[in-house]
Amino acid sequence: MDLRPTAEQDLLRQTVREFAEAEIRPHVREWDEAQAFSLDLVPRLAALGLMGIQVPEAYGGAGLSAVEYCVCIEELARVDPSVALSVAAHNGLAAAHLLMFGSETQKQKYLVPLAKGEVIGAWGLTEASAGSDAGAMRTTAKRDSEDWIISGTKQFITHGKIGGTLVVMAVTDRSKGRHGVSAFVLDRATPGLSAGRKEDKLGMRASDTSEVILNACRVPAEAMVGGEGEGFVNTMQVLDAGRIGIAALAVGLAQGAYEAASKYARDRRQFGQPIAHFQAIRWKLADMATRIEAARLLTYRAAWLRDQHVERISTASSIAKLYSSEIAVRAAEECVQIHGGYGFVKDYAAEKFFRDVKLCTIGEGTSEIQRLVIARQLLGR
């Protein structure tokens, strides 16, 4: 066992941290207020390899490991969790699905432009009446000679408006239940494909979240990703890995909140001394740092297991996601508390961490669903 990062991983962290400080931090508030993901940022993310983090170099990506993916997402989230969410959805859902299950032709046509940052990816599983119970989806794909006709509406899709390549799940044979769901890759230009309502969100406002409307979209047989009926099972594997990314996002967010709180506690004076001298504040900071370290270890362990390809990672990734997102909620709340009234206004980062963090216990499976996955592994059924 060696828990130390390699020299390359330290350098990667430093590089992404410097990028986030220089290119993202100055715009955090402006992007949050505009509720827009900055398209200008994409080429700069791509130049660092952040649009194809785990995609092999042969497909235009950076070819990094799952552990290194966590380093990147963590460092982005430390500064702006909504940029980290967009990068995680692009990499960990859309690109990952094509990398894991796409054909060679699909990889050349869709994965390469995603990894190079020429196109933004979106991934559509959720629907208005099918969230945690994704298997209850209503979107259908019906055969029409060699083609498929896809109809339905996807809800809460990251990059639903700005994504150029979309991977969507649809029922191809309802009688087979979860084994009757298939995945398809679509171009934004597909006739019948449009974005619906853009969500006006509590947090993560700089990340586009929109409906995706599929109005009898005709796609060729080659648009199917993976085998017919394999879409749901493949989706669960994509989410197993994707959840590690959300865990890393939560760790980075919590780290950002901790650092903001720690700095404020040393600067802010009450009763003639910095509030960091009061035991009540010191213990909050000590607890935050301890929980963050534990969450980071769980997250890196899950990522390391993924890199070893030795076992199913569902439980490890659910444990990492559950713990990291819940301690991040506590960290963001304590950050506001340590800022007092200044934590409640937009002059400081605290209120934004507090708004952004809640997504971590909801996206890519709620905390309740993570407990369900973990308990199923422990208890069976």
Ligand X SMILES: Cc1cc2nc3c(=O)[nH]c(=O)nc-3n(C[C@H](O)[C@H](O)[C@H](O)COP(=O)(O)OP(=O)(O)OC[C@H]3O[C@@H](n4cnc5c(N)ncnc54)[C@H](O)[C@@H]3O)c2cc1C
* Residues at the site binding ligand X, with contacts judged by CB under 6 A: 89, 93, 123-126, 131-132, 156-158, 204, 209, 359, 362-366, 368-369, 372
- Minimum distance of ligand X from residue 32's CB (angstroms): 13
Cβ atoms of 88 and 74 closer than 8 Å: no
Residue from 98, 229, 129, 235 nearest 172 by CA: 229
Annotated active-site residue in 75, 127, 228, 364: 364
Whether 18 sits among the annotated catalytic residues: the reply is no
- Minimum distance of ligand X from residue 142's CB (angstroms): 21
Beta carbon nearer to ligand X, 209 or 262: 209
Alpha helices in 268-349 (DSSP H): 279-308, 314-339
163 CB-near residues (< 8 Å, 6+ apart): 94, 119, 120, 121, 122, 157, 188
Helix (H), strand (E) counts: the chain: 13, 10
Beta carbon nearer to ligand X, 123 or 304: 123
- Minimum distance of ligand X from residue 125's CB (angstroms): 3
- Minimum distance of ligand X from residue 370's CB (angstroms): 9
Beta carbon nearer to ligand X, 88 or 276: 88
Side-chain-facing half-sphere of 41: CA atoms under 13 Å: 25
Cα-based distances in Å from 354 to 15, 287, 332, 334: 26, 17, 5, 9
Beta carbon nearer to ligand X, 79 or 359: 359
The CA distance from 78 to 251, in Å, is 8
Residues labelled catalytic? 364
